[in-house]
Amino acid sequence: MTKSNNTIESVGEAELRLADGNTVKLPVFKGSEGEHAVDITKLRAETSYIAFDPGYGNTGSCESAITYIDGEKGILRYRGYPIEELAEKSSFLEVTYLLIYGHLPSESELETFSDAISQESMIHEDMKRFFNGYPATSHPMSILSSMICSLSSYYPDCLENAPEHIDNNISRLLSKVSTVAAFSYKKSIGHPFIGPLNKLGYVENFLNMMFAVPAEPYQVNPDVAKALEMILILHADHEQNCSTSTVRMVGSSQANLYASISAGICALWGPLHGGANQAVIEMLSGIVDRGGDVAGFIQRVKDKEPGVRLMGFGHRVYKNFDPRATILKSQSAKVLKALGLSTPLLDIARQLEEVALKDEYFIERKLYPNVDFYSGIILRAIGIPVNMFTVMFAIGRMPGWIAQWKEMFDTPGLRINRPRQIYTGSEKRLYVPINKR
Ligand code: ACO
């Protein structure tokens, strides 16, 4: 285990007795919040055994000082600050700075950071032509991941991963991801691109690129901007989840920042990860369309009908509540009220939650609403089309991916990530020529 900071503490040894009767002593470490880990890095060299942990549910793949989660207690902190406080008091760019550089920015640091991001808001004119190559029905996540990877062609200085270029590449990525996302939406509805306006804040600029049209004036609704700001903050990092681990996995081969993040976007797309926010709205709309039969739907989930899950419920780490879902639940009601919208999907979501939390199936499996359960209701209320929901998640998660990639690069002794396996295939056998099979 590489020691990258002084918060990991050696606290003795664990003794492991193997099937052959031999024992091995393994170092034990403690993190800054008291979580313990057995260091098995030398296990194979000393015993020929490997650790087996499909799905990595119990594997610490790195040290990290960025995000702390206690899934049993429902705690989430970025760099030590509780998510509840950041969601209420901070801006998305402030949180972005915090995650990437480790401290809350001073006024001048934040101004410099925001300016650097604004200056990078346009995309190369040639890249605009890429959008014409995609069918109108393309999922915007496929466009986003390939466009982000393509940025490495336009900024080849990223290929060296040299420290003097990292900050520029970070500002570019944070800025251009929102431009590419908004353009992919405009392309899908056949509207002209609305270029970035650097005088606007990050969130306002994104909303302007999404919803302004040349034919009439557009004013960003402050309630909408505030709601989106909060959603982005809540999604900004979540330690070693599937997409972040993907970013680290790809980055560990020393692939550049854009390529690593593009891979993370693909990982996020899946319905068991970031794609769940889209799946939740589709599920809620389906229940409304079928007359609002919540009990019937829950029964289908419990019967494990193929393809039927209570989307937005359950989490690998949270076995109590997901603090992000708690914030989003109360905010969704406020946003709908502020925008004067009706609440059929929110009503169904609340009913589903109420029924599920009292049901033995969900209780014994410790299944609670996760971040995706209520986020889609807010996204829909502020006018984001359903197929853009996961793109919004990607914009929000960008600071976390970048922070984790940077932390990995800044850690001395970076090694390529390379898990092992238990081989279960056939033993050595003789090759049979095709005419004899
Ligand atoms: N609805 C119904 N049953 C569920 C659900 C659910 N949402 N989630 C888990 N279960 C059941 C499983 O069927 C399994 O039951 P079993 O023991 O009878 O076989 C048990 O609970 C354990 O589930 P696993 O799938 O093994 O849990 P895992 O930790 O691997 O998966 C996951 C976590 C992927 C989030 C899962 O709960 C799920 O599919 N949820 C719905 C999709 C979702 O909301 N994803 C977003 C997660 S948050 C995020 O990525 C941003």
pLDDT in tens, the chain (437 residues): 334 445 688 999 999 999 989 999 999 999 999 999 999 999 999 999 999 999 999 999 999 999 999 999 999 999 999 999 999 999 999 999 999 999 999 999 999 999 999 999 999 999 999 999 999 889 999 999 999 999 999 999 888 888 889 999 999 999 999 999 999 999 989 999 999 999 999 999 999 999 999 999 999 999 999 999 999 999 999 999 999 999 999 999 999 999 999 999 999 999 999 988 989 999 999 999 999 999 999 999 999 999 999 999 999 999 888 999 999 988 888 898 889 988 889 899 999 999 999 999 999 999 999 999 999 999 999 999 999 999 999 999 999 999 999 999 999 989 999 999 999 999 999 999 999 99
Say whether 372 is catalytic.
Answer: yes
Q: Are 221 and 228 in contact (CB under 8 A)?
A: no
Q: Specify the pLDDT at position 2.
A: 39
What is the whole-number distance in angstroms between the Cα of residue 368 and the centre of ligand 1? Answer: 10
Task: Please check whether residue 267 is in contact with residue 273, taking contact to mean a CB–CB distance below 8 angstroms.
Answer: yes
Angle between helices 371-381 and 222-234 (to 10 degrees): 160
For ligand 1, is residue 366 a contact (CB within 6 Å)? no
Q: Is the CB of 274 under 6 A from ligand 1?
A: yes
CA of 110 to the centre of ligand 1 (A): 39
Q: For 434, left (φ over 0), alpha (ψ -120 to 50), or beta?
A: alpha
371 lines ligand 1 (CB under 6 A): yes
Please tell me the distance from the alpha carbon of residue 417 to that of residue 435, in angstroms, as a whole number. 42
**Cβ atoms within 10 Å, residue 429:** 6
Question: Can you state the angle between helices 389-410 and 140-154, rounded to 10 degrees?
Answer: 40
Is 76 a pocket residue for ligand 1 (Cβ < 6 Å)?
no
Q: Which CATH superfamily is domain 276-381 in?
A: Cytochrome P450-Terp, domain 2 (1.10.230.10)
Per-residue confidence (pLDDT) for residue 160, from 0 to 100? 86
In degrees, rounded to 5, the angle at the alpha carbon of residue 270 between the alpha carbons of residues 302 and 150 is 175
3-state secondary structure of 41: coil
Q: How far apart are CA 172 and CA 261, in angstroms?
A: 13
**97 DSSP assignment:** H
Residue 333 pLDDT = 87
Pairing relationship of beta strands 67-70 and 23-30 according to DSSP bridges: unpaired
- The CATH label, of 3.90.1140.10, 1.10.580.10, 3.30.830.10, 1.10.10.10, for the domain at 81-270 is 1.10.580.10
Residue 6: per-residue pLDDT = 53
Does the pTM of the predicted model rise above 0.85?
A: yes
Q: Is there an atom of ligand 1 within 6 Å of 259 CB?
A: no
Distance from C-alpha of 32 to C-alpha of 159, rounded to nearest angstrom: 34
Q: Which atom of ligand 1 lies at the shortest distance from residue 238's CA?
A: 51
As assigned by CATH, the class of the 9-60 domain is: mainly beta
- List the structure tokens of 230: 């909060």
User: How many angstroms is it from 386 CA to the middle of ligand 1?
Assistant: 22
Q: In ligand 1, which atom is closest to the CA atom of 55?
A: 30
Tokens describing residue 280: 């939740």
Our mutation pick for probing the ligand 1 site, out of 301, 313, 375, 393, counting the most ligand atoms within 8 A of Cβ, is 313
Q: Is the CB of 105 under 6 A from ligand 1?
A: no
- Helix spans in 140-253 (H): 140-154, 163-189, 202-211, 222-234, 242-251
Within 10 angstroms of residue 427's Cβ, the number of other Cβ atoms is 5
Domain boundaries, the chain: 9-60, 81-270, 276-381
